[in-house]
Amino acid sequence: MTAREFAIDVVRKLQGAGFVALWAGGCVRDELLGLVPADYDVASDARPEQVKMLFRRCVEIGVAFGVIEVIGPRGDDGEWLKVQVATFRTDGTYSDGRRPDSVAFCSPEEDAKRRDFTINGMFFDPVMQTVFDYVDGQNDLKNKILRAIGHPMDRFAEDKLRVLRAVRMATRFDLHLDLETRAAGRAMAPQIRAVSPERIADELRKLLVHPRRARGGELLRDFGLIEPILPELLATYEADQRVFSSLPDVCSFPLAFATMLRSVGVRTARTIANRLRFSNDELARIIWLVGHRDALLEAATMPNHQRQPLLIHDGIVELLVLHRAEAMATNAAIAHVEFCARIVRDTPPEILNPLPLLTGDDLIAIGWSPGKLFKIVLETVRNRQLDGELMTSEEAMRVANAIKLAGR
How many Å apart are CA 267 and CA 282, to the nearest integer?
A: 15
| 294 and 323 housed in the same domain | yes
| 221 and 328 housed in the same domain | no
| 225 and 238 housed in the same domain | no
For residue 86, the cross-strand partners are 43, 67
| 298 and 401 housed in the same domain | no
Q: What is the SS3 assignment for 204?
A: helix
Across residues 316-325, what is the average pLDDT? 96
pLDDT in tens, 196-236: 999 999 999 999 999 999 999 999 999 999 999 999 999 88
| 375 and 335 housed in the same domain | no
CA angle 385, 391, 392 (to 5 degrees): 110
Total count of domains within the chain: 4
Pick the residue with more confidence: 407 or 192?
192
pLDDT at 94 over 70: no
- What are the helix (H) ranges across 113-160? 137-142, 152-158
First CA to last CA distance, the chain? 72
pLDDT at 98 over 60: no
Q: Looking at 330, 353, 376, which one is the last position of a domain? A: 353
pLDDT in tens, 335-352: 999 999 999 999 999 999
What's the Cα-to-Cα distance from 146 to each of 19, 200, 224, 273, 282, rounded to whole Å? 32, 20, 18, 30, 31
| 217 and 237 housed in the same domain | no
**Rounded (10°) angle between helices 316-330 and 253-260:** 40
Burial track 30-57 (b if 16+ CB lie within 10 A, e otherwise): bbbeeeebeebbbbbbbebebbbebbee
- Residue 100 is predicted with a pLDDT of 58
Share of residues in the chain with pLDDT > 70 (%):
96
Q: Looking at 136, 163, 179, which one is the last position of a domain? A: 136
pLDDT in tens, 28-47: 999 999 999 989 999 999 99
Greatest mean pLDDT among 97-111, 184-198, 356-370: 184-198
**Rounded (10°) angle between helices 335-346 and 316-330:** 160
Share of residues in the chain with pLDDT > 90 (%):
82
pLDDT in tens, 139-180: 999 999 999 999 999 999 999 999 999 999 999 999 999 999
| 106 and 178 housed in the same domain | no
Q: What is the SS3 assignment for 62?
A: strand
| 66 and 125 housed in the same domain | yes
pLDDT at 103 over 70: no
DSSP 39: -
Q: What is the SS3 assignment for 368?
A: coil
pLDDT at 240 over 80: yes
What's the Cα-to-Cα distance from 374 to each of 39, 49, 141, 370, 401, rounded to whole Å? 54, 67, 66, 5, 11
Task: Read off the pLDDT band of 124 (50, 70, 90).
Answer: very high
pLDDT at 75 over 90: no
Task: Read off the pLDDT band of 61 (50, 70, 90).
Answer: confident
Across residues 255-275, what is the average pLDDT? 95
| 295 and 210 housed in the same domain | no
Task: Read off the pLDDT band of 121 (50, 70, 90).
Answer: very high
How many Å apart are CA 326 and CA 246, to the nearest integer?
A: 8
Contact 55, 69 (CB under 8 A): no
- Residue 344 is predicted with a pLDDT of 95
| 11 and 66 housed in the same domain | yes
Q: Which domain holds residue 18?
A: 1-136
Strands 103-105 and 123-125: unpaired
Q: What's CA 126's distance to the chain center, in Å?
A: 31
For residue 111, the cross-strand partners are none
Query: For the chain, what is the mean pLDDT?
Result: 92
| 237 and 216 housed in the same domain | no
